[in-house]
Chain A
Amino acid sequence: MIDAKFYTADGFTDTLPGICAFKKKTEGDLRELFRLYGYKEIETPGIEYLDIYSRPGFVKEENLYKMTDQKGRLLTLRYDGTIPAARYAAGVKEFDSFDPKLAPLRLCYIENMYRFAESGGGKQSEFTQAGVELMGSADFDADVEVIEIAIRSALSAGIRDLQISIGQVRLFEGIANEAGLDEKNRNIIREAISRRDTVTIEKTCDMLGLSDDMKQLLLMLPDASGTFDVIEDLKGRVSDPQSARALDNLKHILTALEEDGFIKYVSVDAGLTGGSVDYYTGVIFKGFTYGVGFPIISGGRYDNTVAVFGKEMECVGFSLSLTLVLTALMRQGVSMEEKPVDAIIGFELGQRGKAYAEAERLRSEGLSVILATDGMSKADIEAYAKSNGVGRAVYFG
């Protein structure tokens, strides 16, 4: 057993001065951005009943930090922002008698999430996410709003090179219906598409004896990226109404993003599938930048999730990983060194009153001031100011 009191736990780390200041400032900017769009911030508990996550497709149960309460009931640390928001929204009594579409809930959060990422990995088990959930609207305008906030949130955090990939999970499901895929082969091909694994797609198509047209269509999904051209190209190849509607949905979203001036950040990626979380039911998107190997933004439409908690409610949302954003910015060369303190004031015995008054005066001007302790001499004060980059050293003798 190591002497654990000196170390942070596996998967956890301190956020150091400088980085912490940058992070808190960014959190403030994001909070303001969300407010400007009419979103209300909530805090959900750090600990939830395990039950809210134990539905097939929500999360891998082994990735949850589990514990029990005093009655032996299973609890988990907060894993994400979406499921607790869904639990909360389902319990909002107003919606029992009131159609949520008339006034959708706009919620936002900035919270730490907890996940057992992997043994011994560099992936952090605790990280900060900022996100929004637009709950009670099935409209593509809601999708557009959330994607635009996602883009703005990354920009506001200081990300310059941003790429958002947009897909639609119904596109593949419709094609799979058309091909008559059973559950097992549907899962195999969906997974292969999300891994860009054309070998497996080809093998599975051959094994099932699918038509050449179908095989070509499935094989082009992982590679199909662009904007309106991809949508038109795919439109000529699909016949299932579900796929056609998915493509229309993407076209509407893209058109609005173009009108609003966001199209330069966006491309369609037909190979985007839900991945590790599969509660997505419509549009799905990921955001990328240089310097980190993981998407910094993840979001999409989840129309069936709140129903799990007892209420029909169509929703769309996204989260931005602030932790990954900070890593990316540092690797892109953004400095997060904290500014030195503005002034230090020392005083001789009996002069404390004057020193205090001067400190207060400077503080009222917004300067940061250290009032010396331990009877630091004039020389001590000057030496301290020099070695710490403090601009102003004052001594009352």
Chain B
Amino acid sequence: MLTIALSKGRLANKAIELLENAGYDCTAAKDESRKLILEDEKAGLRFIMAKPADVPTYVEYGAADIGFVGKDTLLEEGRDLYEVVDLKYGKCRLCVAGPVSLKDGRLDLIPNKRIGTKYPNITRAYFEGVKKESVEIIKLNGSIELAPLIGLADCIVDIVESGRTLKENGLDVIETVADISARVVVNRVSMKMKSDEIRPMIEKIKEQVALE
């Protein structure tokens, strides 16, 4: 029996589709109820529906053998696990964004800037490690774009897909921190103890990704 942790929402549906195309029976996972654990004994699969940020935790502790999760969450959580497949979907960028007036290097002129973000660890690693700057980080949980508009922060670090929300609020991408897509992660012990089940699954997933 393999336990698979899915990020609730769009990413979960995409993961289920991918597994079905790879030849796994995912009828259980498509249960529209509010159950959090969906099990199919015959198929040998058990799905758990978790908050995206918790997927790496479930997998690291071995509560789930495999997880489908965005690279942004992996970077932020910094968990000790195997990152085996780039699914190439859910593509977006993790960016520094702010008022248009800060573009073309003018952001760098602000010393000790305040940055609003859902991703404090990535933000710190980027500004301290890559840009060699001290920054003040303000952890927010949603509508990050508000922070520079209302004067809470100079800029933000957030996921950008189309950039529409930014544009409509007079903000723009200033720098790209990382390219993001969905990944398959595997617990280190499961990879050894259940390799007969996990390795073929990884191979089939890779084949599907190559087809798409």
Residues of A within 8 A of B (CB): 122, 161, 163, 165, 195-199, 225, 275-276, 288-295
A161 — nearest CB in chain B belongs to which residue? B193
Given contacts A196-B191, A288-B189, contact A293 B83 (CB under 8 A): no
Which of B60, B63, B82, B193 is the one whose CB lies under 8 Å from A196? B82
Say if the beta carbon of B186 comes within 8 Å of chain A: yes
Interface 1/0s, chain B 77-94, versus A by CB < 8 A? 000111110100000000
Can you name 6 A-B pairs with beta carbons within 8 Å?
A163-B192, A196-B191, A197-B82, A197-B84, A293-B190, A294-B188
Residues of A within 8 A of B190 (CB): 293
Is B83 a contact of A196 with CB atoms below 8 Å?
yes
Given A195-B83, A197-B82, A295-B188, 8 other A-B contacts at CB below 8 A?
A122-B61, A165-B192, A195-B81, A196-B82, A289-B189, A292-B62, A293-B187, A295-B189
The 7 residue pairs across chains A and B that have the minimum distance between CB atoms: A293-B62, A196-B82, A199-B86, A197-B83, A293-B61, A288-B192, A288-B189
Residues of B within 8 A of A199 (CB): 83, 86
Residues of B within 8 A of A122 (CB): 61
Nearest chain A CB to B192 CB, angstrom units: 5
Is B83 a contact of A292 with CB atoms below 8 Å?
no
A292-B60 Cα distance, complex, nearest whole Å = 10
Which of A195, A225, A276, A290 is the one whose CB lies under 8 Å from B193? A290
Residues of B within 8 A of A225 (CB): 195
A163-B61 Cα distance, complex, nearest whole Å = 18
Residues of B within 8 A of A (CB): 59-63, 80-84, 86, 186-193, 195
Nearest chain B CB to A367 CB, angstrom units: 41
Interface core residue of A122, A161, A163, A196 (most chain B CB under 10 Å): A196
Is B84 a contact of A293 with CB atoms below 8 Å?
no
A225-B82 Cα distance, complex, nearest whole Å = 15
A225-B189 Cα distance, complex, nearest whole Å = 14
Nearest chain A CB to B129 CB, angstrom units: 12
Residues of A within 8 A of B82 (CB): 195-197
Which of A163, A196, A289, A294 is the one whose CB lies under 8 Å from B186? A196
Interface core residue of A122, A288, A290, A293 (most chain B CB under 10 Å): A293
Residues of B within 8 A of A293 (CB): 59-63, 187-190
Residues of B within 8 A of A196 (CB): 82-84, 186, 191
Residues of A within 8 A of B191 (CB): 196
Nearest chain A CB to B85 CB, angstrom units: 8
A199-B87 Cα distance, complex, nearest whole Å = 10
A290-B2 Cα distance, complex, nearest whole Å = 13
A122-B186 Cα distance, complex, nearest whole Å = 19
Nearest chain B CB to A83 CB, angstrom units: 21
A295-B81 Cα distance, complex, nearest whole Å = 12
Nearest chain B CB to A97 CB, angstrom units: 44
Is A289 a contact of B193 with CB atoms below 8 Å?
yes
Residues of A within 8 A of B189 (CB): 288-290, 292-295
Residues of A within 8 A of B195 (CB): 225
A169-B106 Cα distance, complex, nearest whole Å = 45
A276-B79 Cα distance, complex, nearest whole Å = 12
B61 — nearest CB in chain A belongs to which residue? A293
Residues of B within 8 A of A163 (CB): 192-193
Interface core residue of B59, B63, B86, B189 (most chain A CB under 10 Å): B189
Given contacts A196-B186, A293-B62, A295-B188, contact A288 B193 (CB under 8 A): yes
Is A198 a contact of B192 with CB atoms below 8 Å?
no
Is A198 a contact of B63 with CB atoms below 8 Å?
no
Nearest chain A CB to B84 CB, angstrom units: 5
Nearest chain A CB to B186 CB, angstrom units: 7
Residues of B within 8 A of A165 (CB): 192
A225-B193 Cα distance, complex, nearest whole Å = 13
A276-B82 Cα distance, complex, nearest whole Å = 14
A289-B189 Cα distance, complex, nearest whole Å = 7
Nearest chain B CB to A347 CB, angstrom units: 53
Nearest chain A CB to B86 CB, angstrom units: 4
A68-B63 Cα distance, complex, nearest whole Å = 38
Residues of B within 8 A of A289 (CB): 189, 193
A225-B86 Cα distance, complex, nearest whole Å = 22
Nearest chain A CB to B25 CB, angstrom units: 24
A122-B63 Cα distance, complex, nearest whole Å = 12
A163-B188 Cα distance, complex, nearest whole Å = 12
Is B84 a contact of A198 with CB atoms below 8 Å?
yes
A289 — nearest CB in chain B belongs to which residue? B193
A229-B193 Cα distance, complex, nearest whole Å = 20
Residues of A within 8 A of B59 (CB): 293
A199-B181 Cα distance, complex, nearest whole Å = 12
Nearest chain A CB to B47 CB, angstrom units: 18
B81 — nearest CB in chain A belongs to which residue? A195
